Chains A and B, each alone.
Chain A
Amino acid sequence: MRWITVRQLKNLRRFPVPPEILAAGRVKLIAVIEAAPMIHRQTAWFASAAWRPVMAAMIVIVAVTGGGTFVAAHDALPGEKLYVVKLAGEEFHERMTITSEQRFVVQAAHASRRLEETERLLAMQGLGGADRAARVRKAMARFEGHVFVMNEIAVKFEADPEKPKRGKKALKAADVMLDRHVHLMESATRAEPVVAAVMLDPMDAPFSLEADLFSAIPTDDGGADDEAGRHRLERAEKRLRMRADLEDRKREAEDERTEEARDVELLREDSDDGERGGREDLEEETWIETGSSFDFKAENPLEKRFGT
C-alpha cells in the first residue's frame, strides 16, 4: 500500500471539525469569561519597565548628592544644568499618580510651573533674544504637553455621566492655565515678538490647544457653560489677533530688512560710481593738462621713468 505520503498526512490539516463541537466550546468559554472576567491589577509602579531609567537616575542623584540636588533644582530654569534634575523629579511625581484625578492635579501643577519659568525668563536681564526664545520654547513645549494631558483627562471626565461636575471643574482648571498663557503672550508680544512667536507655536505641530479644548465643551448645557464657551472663544480670538499682529510685525521687519539691504546696495553702487568717477575726473584732468595734442607715448610717466 503506497497511498500514504507526507502530503496526505498534511491533508489532515483540513480534517473537518464538527461545527456544533466548536459552537458548544464557544458557549462554554463565553460563560467562563463572564463568570470570571479579567481583573485589572495596577502594576506596581516600580516594576514597570518604563520606570527603570527614571528610577536609576533618581537613585544615582540621591546617592551622589544625598537628595540636596532636588532641592537646589527646584528653581532651575530651562537652559540651566539642574533643570534636567528638576524634570526628572517631576516625572517621578507624575508616575506616582494612580487615579485620573491625581494625574490631573499633578499635570496642572507642572503646567503652572512652566508658566512661572516663562515669566521669569521673560523678565531675566542679560539674555540674548535667540537664547531667551530657545529657553522659552523648551518651557512652552512642555507646557503644551501638560495641558494636552489635562485636556485628555477632562474629556474623559466629561464623558462620565456619574460625575458631571468633575469634568467641568477640570475644564475650568485648564482654562485658568490657558488664560495665564495668553496673558504672558500679550506681555511678550509687546516686549519681544520673537519670543512671543515661540510661545504661540512652540511645538511646530498641527496641535491646537484651543481646538482640543473646544471639542470638550458641552454644547447643549446652559448657564455657566455658555459663559465658559464665550470666554474660550474670546481667548481664541485674542490668540488669533496676536498671531495676525505678530505676522504683520514679522512682515514689517522683513520689509525693513529688504529696504535696508536695498539702501546698502545703492550706497555701494554710489560708492563704486564715485570711485570710477574719480578716476575719470583724474583722466580728464590729465587730458586737460596735456592738451589736445597729447602724445601718450612721449608723455607716459612710466616710460619716462624707466626709459622704455
Chain B
Amino acid sequence: MLLARIQSGDGTAFIEAYDLFAPKLYRHALFRTSSPEVAEDIASETFTRAWETIRDKAKEIRHLKAFLYRIADNLIIDHYRKNARAAIPISEEIEETLRAPGDPHEQLDKTLAGEKMAGLLSKLRPETRDILVMRYIDDLPIEHIAAAVGKTKNAMYVALHRAVKELKELCAGSPSDN
C-alpha cells in the first residue's frame, strides 16, 4: 500500500504518489483556474504541503487521493480569493505541447480542444465549473464532490444536471469550429 509506505516515512513512495497524482492535480487546477502557471504552482504546492502534513500527522491520513485533492481545493479557493476570478487564457499551452514528446499533431488537437473547453469553462460561475471539473475531469465520485461542496448526494445530482445544461447553453452561444 502506497499510503502505508508514505506514512512510514518512505520518501520514495511519496515521489511515486507525485508521479501518479501530479498530472491529475495539474488538470484539476488548470480547468478550474484557466491558468497554466497557477495550475503548475498549485500542483507543486499541493505536494509540498502534503509532505509537511504527513511529517507531522501521517497516521491521520486515511485516503491519499482525497487528502491531496483537499489541499489542492484549498489552494484554488485561496487563488480565487486573491485574484477574484482573473481568468487567464491558456494559449501558451499550445507552444508547450509542440515541444512535448509524442505525435505533435495529436497532442495539438488535444490541446486545442482542451483550450477551447477551458475557455468555455472559465466563463461559467466558479461553483458550476468546480462541479463539472470534479465530476467529469477528476472523475471523483458524487459522494466525494457532495462532501467537498457541502451538499447532499441528491442535491449534487441536481446541481450537476444544471451545470451540464449551463455549459451546453454556453456552447450553443459560442462560435463553432466546424
Task: For chain A, residues 1 to 41, give those with C-beta under 8 angstroms from any C-beta of chain B.
Answer: 1-4, 6, 8-22, 24-26, 28-30, 32-34, 36-40
List the A side residues contacting B14 at CB < 8 Å. 29, 33
Contact of B111 among A16, A33, A38 (CB under 8 A): A16
Q: B23–A22 contact, CB under 8 A?
A: yes
- Decide: A15 near B110, CB < 8 A? Known: A1-B174, A30-B15, A33-B15: yes
- Decide: A9 near B51, CB < 8 A? Known: A26-B15, A37-B9: no
List the A side residues contacting B26 at CB < 8 Å. 17, 21-22
| B117 at interface by CB-CB < 8 Å | yes
List the A side residues contacting B51 at CB < 8 Å. 29, 32-33, 36
Total number of A residues with any Cβ neighbor in B under 8 Å: 35
| B145 at interface by CB-CB < 8 Å | no
Q: A11–B18 contact, CB under 8 A?
A: no
Q: In whole angstroms, how far apart are the Cα atoms of A14 and B31 in the complex?
A: 13
- Decide: A15 near B111, CB < 8 A? Known: A9-B137, A29-B51: yes
Number of A-B contacts (CB under 8 A): 123
Q: In whole angstroms, how far apart are the Cα atoms of A30 and B54 in the complex?
A: 15
Q: A3–B178 contact, CB under 8 A?
A: yes
Return the chain A residue nearest B164 by Cβ: A6
Q: A8–B117 contact, CB under 8 A?
A: yes
Query: How far in angstroms is the closest Cβ of chain A from B165?
Result: 11
Query: How far in angstroms is the closest Cβ of chain B from A31?
Result: 10
Q: In whole angstroms, how far apart are the Cα atoms of A30 and B18 in the complex?
A: 10
Tell me whether chain B's interface is mostly helix, strand or loop, or mixed: helix
Q: In whole angstroms, how far apart are the Cα atoms of A13 and B27 in the complex?
A: 8
Total number of B residues with any Cβ neighbor in A under 8 Å: 52
Q: B40–A25 contact, CB under 8 A?
A: yes
Q: A38–B167 contact, CB under 8 A?
A: no
Q: B176–A3 contact, CB under 8 A?
A: yes
Query: How far in angstroms is the closest Cβ of chain B from A52?
Result: 15
Q: B47–A25 contact, CB under 8 A?
A: yes
Q: B27–A15 contact, CB under 8 A?
A: yes
Return the chain B residue nearest A13 by Cβ: B137
Q: B11–A25 contact, CB under 8 A?
A: no
Q: A6–B136 contact, CB under 8 A?
A: yes
Q: In whole angstroms, how far apart are the Cα atoms of A11 and B109 in the complex?
A: 12
Interface centre among A3, A8, A16 (most CB of B within 10 A): A16
Query: How far in angstroms is the closest Cβ of chain A from B59?
Result: 8
Q: B18–A29 contact, CB under 8 A?
A: yes
Q: B40–A10 contact, CB under 8 A?
A: no
Query: How far in angstroms is the closest Cβ of chain A from B131?
Result: 11
Q: In whole angstroms, how far apart are the Cα atoms of A11 and B97 in the complex?
A: 17
Return the chain A residue nearest B132 by Cβ: A9
List the B side residues contacting A37 at CB < 8 Å. 9, 11
List the B side residues contacting A25 at CB < 8 Å. 18, 22, 40, 43-44, 47
Q: In whole angstroms, how far apart are the Cα atoms of A37 and B12 in the complex?
A: 11
| B96 at interface by CB-CB < 8 Å | yes
Q: In whole angstroms, how far apart are the Cα atoms of A43 and B58 in the complex?
A: 12
Q: B100–A19 contact, CB under 8 A?
A: yes
Which 3 A-B pairs have CB atoms at the shortest separation, nearest pair first? A38-B9, A4-B171, A15-B114
With A9-B136, A22-B19 known, 18 other A-B pairs at CB within 8 A are A3-B171, A9-B137, A15-B31, A16-B114, A18-B93, A18-B97, A18-B100, A19-B101, A21-B40, A21-B43, A22-B22, A26-B15, A26-B19, A26-B22, A29-B14, A30-B11, A32-B51, A33-B11
